[in-house]
Amino acid sequence: MERRAFLKKAGLGLAAGAAVAAQAPAVLAGKKFVWRMVTSWPPGMPILQTGAQRFAELVKEMSDGDLTIEVSAGGELVPPLEVFDAVSQGMVQCYHSASYYWAGKHPATQWFTSVPFGMNSGGYNAWFNAGDGLKLWEELYDKFNLVPRPLGATSFQMGGWFNKKIEKVEDLHGLKLRFPGLAGKVYGKLGASVVLLPGSEVYTSLERGVIDGTDWVGPHLDKRAGLNRVAKFYMFPGWQEPTGYTEVVFNKAAYAQLPADLKAILDGAAAKMTQIMLAEFDMENAKALIELKADKNLQIVPFPDTVLDTFRETAKQVLEEEADKDPMARKIHDNYKAFMAQWKEWTDVTEKVYYSSMLK
């Protein structure tokens, strides 16, 4: 197949470490493309950072070396929470992160990672692939010169780590919490002070009392990060993230330059790695939770039903308020809500009954 050459010049004006990335435009050597990927994850972080690296390896293998993606962890070329701008401006060709980090760019980005009391991984998979989820995601990101794809999902999460047991809603008043996305806005409405921190800062912030509570990913990565050493209470359920989809996002101009076969390879590799990463999270979280239960210094406790009821009602308010901020946010929220209503009709007589009555 005939392949067109391209050279994407680096953009200007991005803060801090992005200047280094500007020295690495897309390269075409004969018929072989060389891209750079930046991520929001610490170096060597299992499943997320390693998943991004395995995605790149899979793309290289499937393309027989015609597309090589060089992966840099958060902070190596671009600060973790600046990868969106780096790819949007064409300084690098792609990133791996989570869409709810970009709420400051557009409120609608939050719906593509997770929604409090929303759909689980299976529901999101259906919305993306059998509903309008991916089309809406593409429409939203197009205005930022970006092309998104799902790449990975965390499965269910826990409710978070706290140095104070949450027994009533009033216990949240004045707490400093790190919860990104829509869940952070729920906590903010209930009297907490919410901050956004990259993963590399979560442990030290909790240890030093900069924050009083946080979620991260799930038992496997939470334990690996040592959060059980600096928090007293691990609470559940993870109402705030019944899943956590992550994204691989391509610069629109760089993506347009690829021939059709390489675009298809990117899609196929992302779908394959999403399946693998989701399986790994389910397996590793199950093993890690057993180990955490054996920690005598840690209490794994549920949120009281009264607190969960307040979370649920407040989340409904937050979703409507965020949707009202922009017509595109309203369009995405209404579509998500309608799809979830149909999905719930099915899961009410299948998954819900199975977990509550049959799986004993």
Q: Specify whether 276 is located in the same domain as 303.
A: no
Please give the chain's pLDDT, 360 residues, in tens: 333 332 233 333 343 343 334 444 455 555 799 999 999 999 999 999 999 999 999 999 999 999 999 999 999 999 999 999 999 999 999 999 999 999 999 999 999 999 999 999 999 999 999 999 999 999 999 999 999 999 999 999 999 999 999 999 999 999 999 998 999 999 999 999 999 888 789 999 999 999 999 999 999 999 999 999 999 999 999 999 999 999 999 999 999 999 999 999 999 999 999 999 999 999 999 999 999 999 999 999 999 999 999 999 999 999 999 999 999 999 999 999 999 999 999 999 999 999 888 777
Q: Specify whether 69 is located in the same domain as 55.
A: yes
Would 221 be classed as within a structural domain?
Answer: yes
CA distance 267 to 82: 24
Would 333 be classed as within a structural domain?
Answer: no
Query: In this structure, what token pair is assigned to residue 196?
Result: 């956004």
Would 334 be classed as within a structural domain?
Answer: no
Q: Specify whether 117 is located in the same domain as 236.
A: no
Q: Specify whether 62 is located in the same domain as 149.
A: yes
Phi–psi pair at 183, nearest 5 degrees = -60, -40
For the beta carbon of residue 108, count every other beta carbon within 10 angstroms.
Answer: 27
Q: Specify whether 47 is located in the same domain as 177.
A: no
Q: Specify whether 178 is located in the same domain as 236.
A: yes
Q: How far is CA 145 from the centre of its chain?
A: 20
CA distance 358 to 360: 6
Query: In this structure, what token pair is assigned to residue 301?
Result: 């406790």
Q: Specify whether 132 is located in the same domain as 264.
A: yes
Q: Specify whether 137 is located in the same domain as 56.
A: yes
Would 268 be classed as within a structural domain?
Answer: yes
Q: Length of the chain in residues, anyone?
A: 360
Would 122 be classed as within a structural domain?
Answer: yes
Q: Specify whether 130 is located in the same domain as 209.
A: no
CATH value at residue 110: 3.40.190.170
CA distance 87 to 8: 11
CA distance 57 to 263: 15
Q: What total number of domains does the chain contain?
A: 2
Give yes or no for a contact between 78 and 17, defined as CB atoms under 8 angstroms apart.
Answer: yes
Instruction: Quote the domain boundaries for residue 91.
Output: 18-156+243-282
Q: Which helix (H) or strand (E) holds 34?
A: strand 32-39
CATH value at residue 201: 3.40.190.10
CA distance 325 to 207: 36
Would 10 be classed as within a structural domain?
Answer: no
